[in-house]
């Protein structure tokens, strides 16, 4: 009976010991992915910012500029692309909507971002675009890969339509979460006019005809939780200028926007709580369960060997019984 039990325990020990690396190195890369129906909204603010007044083409200081970023998954488009791509694909329709202190629209820039659900690498397919312009992305955008490493990455900049290095600057603690800090600097670069202009009836083509060009620079900062690859906080020191053209008169340039853009406090709290929850799920697959299964396998193996040793131990001989005395008769 002991030998049969030890064989069962040995089989269970082998099963859990084999399950440990399979869960970490085989199951996790296939189970960890961005859902196709993701929906996110983020509000950022730039207080005491500089904003262009289009009536006189002069820059003025305003108390606040608000940027609302929305990401919405297109499930139908994802499923269609997956048929030809041969892998799990996510399609995000993004919109950056910028409004001034009076609530009026300053600009809005739509995007369609198509990427691998597991690795976050871009997937090139019809519809990949920024502000209506077809693009071919390289690098990451919005999210880092699962199990982010302490190294530089290529990060796609929607304004310049190019990928540029974003540098790992160190490990920090952000509100109780261990994060990697990344920073990217985009030097002054000539960029396209937004298709949607804040002045009704004026198009980007109309402005371009006057000879005005738009230039942009930014310092982009992200604090990324490495297990999930999700930024818990982000900010930009953002500047835009209009240069040349007849509308500026004798001025060489004018500031269109300048401000330190930061996430609003309530969205920081929500993001940190969400990332902490998702971090626990990733830890289950990468640490808790694999280590637990390995420890359980070792324990079962030890118990199996113990029972096997008990089964093979020679039994002591049975004690001799004294012979029964013969009956005495008269």
**Digit-coded pLDDT (tens) for 15-33:** 988 998 998 888 888 889 9
Average pLDDT over residues 41-56: 92
Q: In the chain, what are the domain boundaries?
A: 2-22+285-312, 32-263
Across the chain, mean pLDDT equals 90
The proportion of the chain whose per-residue pLDDT surpasses 90, expressed as a percent, equals 68
Distance of CA 140 to the CA centre of its chain: 9
pLDDT value for 168: 98
pLDDT at 191: 95
Tell me what percent of the residues of the chain surpass a pLDDT of 70: 93
Q: Indicate the range of 95-104, 198-207, 266-275 predicted with least confidence.
A: 198-207
The pLDDT-based confidence of 313 (bands split at 50, 70, 90) is low
pTM of the model: 0.88
Identify the pLDDT of residue 54: 80
């Amino acid at each position: 009976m002991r030998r049969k039990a030890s064989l069962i325990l040995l089989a269970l020990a082998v099963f859990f010991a084999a399950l440990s690396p399979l869960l970490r190195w085989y199951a996790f890369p296939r189970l960890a992915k961005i859902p196709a129906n993701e929906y996110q909204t983020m509000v950022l603010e730039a207080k005491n910012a500089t904003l262009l007044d289009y009536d006189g083409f002069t820059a003025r200081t305003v108390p606040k500029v608000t940027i609302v970023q929305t990401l919405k998954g297109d499930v139908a488009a994802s499923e269609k692309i997956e048929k030809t791509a041969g892998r799990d694909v996510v399609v995000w329709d993004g919109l950056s909507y910028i409004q001034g202190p009076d609530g009026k629209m300053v600009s809005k820039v739509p995007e369609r971002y198509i990427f691998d659900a597991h690795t976050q690498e871009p997937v090139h397919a019809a519809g990949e675009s920024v502000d209506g312009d077809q693009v071919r992305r390289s690098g990451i955008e919005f999210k880092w890969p699962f199990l982010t490493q302490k190294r530089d990455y290529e990060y796609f900049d929607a304004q310049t339509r190019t990928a540029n290095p974003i540098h790992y600057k160190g490990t920090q603690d952000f509100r109780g979460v261990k994060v990697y800090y990344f920073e990217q600097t985009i030097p002054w670069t000539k960029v396209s006019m937004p298709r949607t202009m804040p002045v009704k009836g004026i198009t980007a083509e109309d402005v371009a005809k006057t000879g005005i060009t738009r230039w942009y620079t930014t310092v982009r900062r992200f604090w990324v939780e490495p297990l999930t690859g999700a930024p818990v906080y982000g900010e930009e020191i953002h500047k835009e200028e209009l240069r040349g053209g007849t509308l500026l008169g004798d001025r060489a340039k004018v500031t269109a926007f300048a401000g330190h853009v930061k996430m609003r406090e309530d969205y920081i709290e929500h993001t940190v709580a969400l990332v902490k929850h998702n971090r626990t799920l990733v830890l289950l697959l990468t640490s808790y369960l694999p280590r637990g299964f390995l420890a359980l396998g070792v324990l079962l193996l030890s118990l199996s060997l113990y029972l096997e040793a008990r089964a093979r131990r020679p039994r002591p001989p049975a004690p001799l019984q004294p012979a029964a005395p013969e009956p005495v008769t008269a």
